[in-house]
Amino acid sequence: MKKTRISTEESNRIKSEIQSLAVQISQSNQHLCLEWSTGVGKSLASIRIIEDILSTRRNSHGLLICKESTHLKNWEDEFVKHKKKTVMKKVSMFLYASLHKHQHHSTHPDFIILDECHALTDKRVSLLKSLIGPATKVILLSATIPMDKKDLIKGLLGNVYNYKIPLLKAIDLGLLPTPELVVHKMGLTPTGNHEFQFKKAGKGKKTVTCKYSDMWTVQKSLPKGTGLLVKCNEIQYYELITKQMSYYQDQSQTNNSYQIRQACRNKFLNLGSQRKKFISKVKTDKAASIVKQFRGSQKRFICFTGTIEQSVKLGSKSAVNSKNTREDNQNLIDCFNDGSCSELFAVKMLREGINLSNIEKGIIVQLDSTVGSFFQMFGRCLRHEFPEMHLIVVKDTQDEVYFDNAMQDFDNKYVTYA
């Protein structure tokens, strides 16, 4: 039986206590990471920490660095919502991508907020080093931080106090409602017309096309440099690409030449990305049937797709993606948040840093290797009283590995199988 969330009053009281503790910890720690699930209040905690710094040093000024331009707008809205416009005036906000433009200040900022700090890279860390002075307070924010990013953070700051409230803890505290994850398992089929480039043609050479059943015979008789394109079904395509990945992975580890090892590693990674897109593509019809069901019952929903093409195909008028203008994406988000629109489709966007109002249901078409991305996407629909997220998984493929990884930090009592 689903239980409803605690009262808004009680929820705000618990959040306020958590945020007060964050302020207290920040007073005695130069570097603080708030690794909090969605719904706990990372933004307000950060604003309260800035306010606390300003209470003792009125002339303080700091930086707030974000991952995406839509996040900047979200932060402005947060300052306004909590009536902290005077605090906002003490903060310069920009994107990680613009860090190189902020290297020429004569004085170090008093504080830096690193929003979605899992977006840090080696290059961004090296640019940040020149901005952080001995007295600069650094606050890092994220719902989940992968281990490699934690290593980057340690290299940048040394000791960091990590105050962690994961998703399941936020649910236990009653800050988030009891969710339901509906898993749709499907298999690859011996159908579909797919083409797999088994061999790339050399310069000026032609490409031969053949059936899967003839490929080994055709391959033996191919003139040198001739390309080979294999027509195959879903199962055959997956088998071919996985075999090629195994070959290049083996070569990337065992070949005597460093250059060949590197080239094989790149080929392996490219094929991995291609395979992931293929797995996502075979789910399109299943995703479309879930979308149709949501539309039929007039539910407000968000759908995380595997590719831009898929997001456009499933929801052409509501697809937020990197090929749109910034303004177009913001208009789609605003339309959803003001209730005029009831659906959003996104690929590698809207997972974090943006408040989306009253999402009743969600669909995750494609997982990836990072567990954090599952929790980011899942967290999007946890503001509703009875949240329901649907996840499509292809059996006997790498997809199941991603799914098993994501479930290690999740609780099976919230999972049902369609």
Instruction: List the CATH number of the domain containing 125.
Output: 3.40.50.10810
Q: Examine residue 309 and state whether it is found in any structural domain, yes or no.
A: yes
- Decide: 41 and 209 in contact? Cβ < 8 Å: no
Q: Examine residue 2 and state whether it is found in any structural domain, yes or no.
A: no
Same domain, 221 and 139: no
Determine the structural domain holding residue 270 and report its residue range: 194-281
Mean pLDDT of 14-41: 95
Same domain, 275 and 294: no
Chosen domain end from 258, 281, 304: 281
Cα 6 to Cα 10: distance, rounded to the nearest angstrom: 6
Q: Examine residue 215 and state whether it is found in any structural domain, yes or no.
A: yes
Chosen domain end from 242, 257, 281: 281
The neighbour count for residue 99, using CB atoms within 10 Å, is 19
Cα 178 to Cα 8: distance, rounded to the nearest angstrom: 15
Q: Examine residue 1 and state whether it is found in any structural domain, yes or no.
A: no
Query: How many residues are recorded in the chain?
Result: 418
DSSP state letters, 312-369: HHHHGGGEE-TTS-HHHHHHHHHHHHTTS--EEEESS-SSSS-------EEEE----S
Decide: residue 170, CB within 10 A, 0-12 exposed, 13-18 middle, 19+ buried.
Answer: buried
Mean pLDDT of 110-134: 94
Same domain, 272 and 397: no
Q: Examine residue 347 and state whether it is found in any structural domain, yes or no.
A: yes
Query: Does the pLDDT at position 371 exceed 80?
Result: no
pLDDT at 1: 42
pLDDT category at 368 given cuts 50, 70, 90 is confident
Same domain, 354 and 294: yes
Q: Which amino acid is at 189?
A: T
Task: Give pTM, 2 decimals.
Answer: 0.80
Q: Examine residue 3 and state whether it is found in any structural domain, yes or no.
A: no
Same domain, 26 and 141: yes
Q: Which amino acid is at 221?
A: S
Mean pLDDT of 345-370: 81
In the β-sheet with 343-346, what is the strand arrangement from edge to edge?
319-320, 343-346, 301-304, 361-364, 388-394, 180-186, 415-417
Chosen domain end from 244, 265, 281: 281
pLDDT at 38: 83
pLDDT in tens, 264-305: 999 999 999 999 999 999 999 999 999 999 999 999 999 999
Comparing CA positions, the residue from 118, 27, 24, 16 lying closest to residue 65 is 118
Same domain, 20 and 48: yes
Q: Which amino acid is at 401?
A: V
Q: Across the chain, what does the average pLDDT equal? A: 91
Residue 141 phi, psi (nearest 5): -125, 135
Pairing of strands 361-364, 388-394: parallel
pLDDT at 356: 78
Same domain, 154 and 40: yes
Same domain, 275 and 286: no
Q: Examine residue 376 and state whether it is found in any structural domain, yes or no.
A: yes
Same domain, 134 and 225: no
Mean pLDDT of 322-349: 89
pLDDT category at 71 given cuts 50, 70, 90 is confident
Count of domains for the chain? 3
Sequence-distant (6+) residues with CB within 8 A of 103 are 127, 130, 131
